[in-house]
Amino acid sequence: MTTIDCIRCGKTASRVAFRPFQNDVGRRVYEEICATCWAEWLKHQQALINHYALNVQEPQAKEFLYRNLDEYLFGTTSSP
Per-residue pLDDT tens for 12-59?
A: 999 999 999 999 999 999 999 999 999 999 999 999 999 999 999 999
If one counts every other C-beta atom within 10 angstroms of the C-beta of residue 25, the result is: 19
The CATH number assigned to the domain holding 48 equals 1.10.3880.10
Report how many domains make up the chain: 1
Residue 45 domain flag: yes
Q: What is residue 53's predicted lDDT score, i.e. its pLDDT?
A: 98
Output the pTM of the full model: 0.89
| Torsion, Cα of 70, 74, 79, 80 (10° steps) | -80
User: Which residues lie across from 12 on neighbouring strands?
Assistant: 5
| Contact indicator for 35, 13 with CB cutoff of 8 Å | yes
Residue 40: CA count within 13 A, CB half-sphere: 10
The whole domain housing 61 covers: 3-74
User: Which residues lie across from 13 on neighbouring strands?
Assistant: 4
